[in-house]
A and B are shown apart, each in its own frame.
Chain A
Amino acid sequence: MGRRFLAYPYHLWTALFTVIPLALIVYFAFTDRYTAAFTLDNLRQAAQPVYLGVLWHSVWLAGVSTFLCLLAGYPMAMILAKSGVRYRRMLAMLIVVPMWMNFLLRTYAWMTLLEKNGAVNALLAFLGLPPIHILYTDYAVLLGMVYNFLPFMILPIYSVLMKMDKSLLEAAEDLGADAWTSFRRVTFPLSLPGVYAGTIMVFMPAVTTFVISRLLGGGQYMLAGNVIEQQFLAIGNWNFGSALSVLMMVLILLSMVGLSRYDKDGSGGYFL
């Protein structure tokens, strides 16, 4: 009990790198760019229809990509959890290894792959299929998001599935449930904490990304992250950028509160 002082560095860290920056963002959001006097103008400007439209577009894209990650990630997590030890280790490596490579580099690679005369279209032409022109559209951005964030969906679900008591499945089978029923009534409900954790871990980076939308969206499909980046880096209006960030944080907070209602035992680890 007397070891509390061991936590001090952690408190200091949190204060320095979480609390103070957050306080600064809030301060900038509520002050005037030139006079530093209190104002609501920045927030009022951020609440204009065009910016709300951008915000909505970001939430929509992030939502779709989260859903696609869930759709692709859940079966993957199940395969992973069900396979033998050696095979499982190899599969887990295959999922994790690409993440060792720089994220920017991988996204740049997609940029070249998806070109009109890129590798993907060359392959399609070889197979006698019509070419696709998705670079610099929402589809490319979605693809980039799903590709980059999929492991964040697979791993939490996988870890929950691994911990699941397998005798429950045997019991379900004994009681006459077929595979689909036992999945629907036993496996899936028990894996929900992992699903929530994965959802949050995919949704949050997806809704705030500006790199993927900039590289694969070609600077025309502005997402909230891009508008904020533009205000900070290109235009230098930190106050408006902060107001947009605050609006976004409120939005994320609300969605987390909404989701945590379902997470009864608090094992989702939302506040990672």
Chain B
Amino acid sequence: MNGMRKAFVLLLLCGVLAALLAGCGGGGQKSAKRELKVYNWGDYIDPEILKSFEKETGIHVIYDTFATNEDMYVKVKSGGSDYDVAIPSDYMISRLLRDGLLEKIDFSKVPNYSKIGAKYKNLDFDPKNEYSVPYMWGTVGIAYNKKMVTEPVDSWGILWDAKYAKQIFMLDSPRDSIGITLKYLGYSLNTGNEVELAVAGKKLVEQKPLVLAYLVDEAKDKMIAGEGALAVVWSGDAMFMMEKNKDIAYAIPKEGTNLWFDSMVILKGTKHKAEAEEFINYMTRPDVAKKNVEYIGYASPIPEVESKLPEDVRKNIAAYPDAELLKNAEVFNDLTENMPKYDKVWTEVKVAQ
């Protein structure tokens, strides 16, 4: 009797175990659902859009952010990360392309590409437009608080004015901060000339006592809270600040600035190419793109989106600067062998006491 009971319990246990395993098996099949890993700048998408994309397509998005192009590059280049889609800037796209880290996009799967304005296609970093779809574009400029800065802001030189000591935020991003200094000095922001770079480095070290902090995303909150008078910012961040604090204005200095394009690319070795193309197509759909630019404040490369925005946004130079202001603007080139020179200058600026 006892023996039989034991046998029965054992049988029951086996049954339960089998049921559990079967349950696991079923779960396993479910977890094979479609996934996509996206690597984007911090604060650079309307989170609602990720949710609606997941809902519409059933693709689960794993979303990570980076603070600068260089951070992104180091992580992608060193391997180990398995991102499918990234949204780097122009010069970084050339660099990724040169290193063979990009996958060709099948544009038949991205029909919304036709919505992109002609002037944002076939740009230098992707001349035949095979690898990238524009996401946003913009400029680098000076956001300033009109209550603290009453004089007109039209030159980068104001960032070296001792009057604003400890009220200046610089971008903690080597290419941007060195780039605007080069422009201020009248050089190209793609220079490889060591003398010019050394002068720019010296200028930045000279500026250091006036700088309150070198920030990237935090600068927005600080400027909105009135913690500083001047900040070097990307145009879309300026839009965001102006919306939250009416005292903030944006200027593109006369010496010229950096005109940039951030584009969506598919990274080499992706196991989710179809999902990646679906994502890129979704982000380029006019209604989605409009919702996105309204949230993040940058400029859309889709004319249909631009025309539907309210007039004060279309007229705002932080969003859609006119050609006159971009006269002296330059797009970053990939620096290739000159990159270590910039690294050296930036390291010296940052360690200077």
Contact = CB atoms under 8 A, between A and B. Distances in A.
Interface residues of B, number: 30
Interface in B194-219: 208, 211-215, 218
Interface stretch (B69-77, B280-288, B298-306): B69-77
A46 to B, nearest CB: 12
Nearest to B173: A234
A235 B347 CA distance: 9
B351 A51 contact: yes
Contacts of B64: none
Nearest to A234: B70
A165 B222 CA distance: 54
B174 interface: yes
A219 B213 contact: yes
A237 to B, nearest CB: 7
A117 B212 contact: no
B343 A227 contact: no
A106 B71 CA distance: 25
A57 B350 CA distance: 14
B212 A230 contact: no
Given A57-B353, A230-B347, A233-B74, A220 B68 contact: no
B348 interface: yes
B215 to A, nearest CB: 7
A226 B350 CA distance: 10
B227 interface: yes
A80 to B, nearest CB: 37
B351 A50 contact: yes
Contacts of B348: 50
Contact of B73 (A57, A133, A236): A236
B166 interface: yes
A89 interface: no
Contacts, number: 64
A235 B351 CA distance: 14
A212 interface: no
A237 B214 contact: no
Contacts of B213: 136, 217-220
B77 A236 contact: yes
Describe A's contact surface by its main secondary structure: helix
Interface in B313-353: 343, 346-348, 350-353
Given A230-B350, A234-B174, A220 B208 contact: yes
A233 B215 CA distance: 16
A233 B343 CA distance: 12
A143 interface: no
Interface string B148-178: 0000000000000000001000001010000
Contacts of B111: none
B17 interface: no
Nearest to A232: B74
Contact of B227 (A51, A117, A222): A117
A50 B227 contact: no
B35 to A, nearest CB: 26
Interface string A224-253: 001100111111110000000000000000
Contacts of B222: 115
Nearest to B75: A233
Given A115-B227, A233-B71, A218 B215 contact: yes
Interface string A188-208: 000000000000000000000
Nearest to A236: B74
B70 A235 contact: yes
A53 B174 CA distance: 22
A164 interface: no
B14 interface: no
B225 interface: yes
A185 interface: no
Contacts of B68: 234
A227 B226 contact: no
B335 to A, nearest CB: 13
B351 A53 contact: yes
A116 B172 CA distance: 21
Interface string B102-124: 00000000000000000000000
Contacts of B208: 220
A220 B351 CA distance: 8
Contacts of A230: 347, 350
A227 B347 CA distance: 8
Interface in A51-95: 51, 53-54, 57
B193 to A, nearest CB: 20
A231 B346 CA distance: 11
Contacts of B343: 235, 237
Nearest to B339: A235
A231 B74 CA distance: 10
A236 B74 CA distance: 6
Contact of A116 (B70, B227, B350): B227
Given A219-B215, A219-B350, 17 more contacts: A51-B351, A53-B353, A111-B218, A115-B227, A116-B227, A117-B227, A133-B166, A218-B214, A220-B208, A220-B213, A220-B350, A227-B351, A233-B75, A234-B70, A235-B347, A236-B77, A237-B343
Closest 4 CB pairs of A and B: A218-B213, A219-B214, A236-B74, A136-B213
5 contacts: A111-B218, A133-B166, A218-B214, A220-B211, A220-B214
